[in-house]
């Protein structure tokens, strides 16, 4: 029975997503008592206030309930054109509703970006941190970027020792950030 549950949103719909590989490694590297659970965005529709007005579609309810039930959220995302992919932004937009009262408001949020470039997704990490802050999410100031990702993968899995050690170190910092936050009880 975990004492801390962290929801994971993977901002890529690609089956062989490198960010999914990083998520899989992160799940293995979680400290004892901490569970990382994916909350799927695969079937989440594009945000539309008219749709929202008549009730959240089932995949949106599942997303909001999954994140709302967790103690924290980590977003694993690629960088597209120097910023976040539409699917990542779309998930955050749904999670932000109702504004400042959605499941992401007040939630500790970690940001991890992996890609082939040397800048390790610096653009998406910066932009996503600003977006999540707008929603009332408590962004962990230290984001984690993995550049040159293909050199760290073997058969689609994150196997490179140093890359895994750096990810583990970031996870430990994020878990400390989550545990140190006031609970309000």
Is residue 103 at the binding interface for ligand FMN, with CB under 6 A as the rule?
A: no
- Asked if 142 and 35 touch (Cβ cutoff 8 Å), the reply is no
Report the nearest approach of ligand FMN to the CB of residue 183 (Å): 33
CB atoms inside a 10 Å sphere around CB 156: 13
Question: Does the protein bind ligand FMN through residue 29 (CB under 6 A)?
Answer: no
Task: Based on the shown chain and the rule CB under 6 A, indicate whether residue 28 belongs to the binding site for ligand FMN.
Answer: no
Looking at 61-146, which runs of residues are DSSP E strands?
72-77, 108-114, 138-139, 144-146
Q: How many CB atoms lie within 10 A of CB 133?
A: 12
Q: Which is nearer to ligand FMN, 2 or 86 (CB)?
A: 86
Tell me the per-residue interface mask from 154 to 183 with ligand FMN, x by CB under 6 A, - otherwise.
------------------------------
Among 63, 122, 123, smallest CA distance to 94 is for 63
Q: Is 42 in the site for ligand FMN (CB under 6 A)?
A: no
Residue matched to tokens 């309930």 = 65
Q: Is 88 a binder of ligand FMN (CB under 6 A)?
A: no
Closest CB 88 distance from ligand FMN, rounded Å: 10
Binding characters for ligand FMN, 121-160, by CB under 6 A (x = yes) = x---------------------------------------
Shortest Cβ 74–ligand FMN spacing (Å):
14
- 145 by DSSP, 3-state: which? strand
By the rule CB under 6 A, 117 interacts with ligand FMN? yes
Give the span between the Cα atoms of 180 and 30, in whole angstroms.
Answer: 17
Instruction: Tell me how far apart the alpha carbons of residues 143 and 145 are, in angstroms, rounded to a whole number.
Output: 7
* Omega before 41 within 30 of 0, i.e. cis: no
Choice from 7, 8, 9, 17 touching ligand FMN (CB under 6 A): 17
Chain contacts with ligand FMN (rule: CB under 6 A): 12, 14, 17-19, 78-82, 115-117, 121
């Amino acid at each position: 029975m975990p004492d801390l549950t962290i929801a994971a949103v993977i901002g890529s719909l690609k089956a062989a997503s490198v960010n999914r590989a990083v998520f899989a490694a992160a799940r293995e590297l979680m400290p004892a008592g901490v569970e990382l659970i994916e909350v799927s965005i695969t079937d989440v529709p594009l945000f539309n206030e008219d749709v929202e007005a008549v009730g959240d579609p089932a995949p949106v309810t599942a997303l909001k309930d999954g994140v709302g039930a967790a103690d924290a959220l980590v977003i694993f995302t690629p960088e597209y054109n120097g910023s976040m992919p539409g699917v990542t932004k779309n998930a955050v937009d749904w999670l932000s509703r109702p504004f400042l009262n959605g499941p992401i408001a007040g939630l500790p949020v970690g940001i991890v970006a992996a890609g082939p470039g040397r800048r390790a997704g610096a653009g998406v990490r910066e932009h996503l941190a600003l977006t999540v802050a707008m929603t009332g999410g408590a962004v962990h100031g230290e984001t984690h970027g993995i550049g040159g990702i293909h050199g760290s993968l073997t058969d689609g899995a994150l196997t490179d020792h140093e890359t895994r050690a750096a990810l583990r170190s970031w996870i430990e910092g994020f878990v400390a950030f989550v545990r140190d936050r006031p609970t309000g009880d």
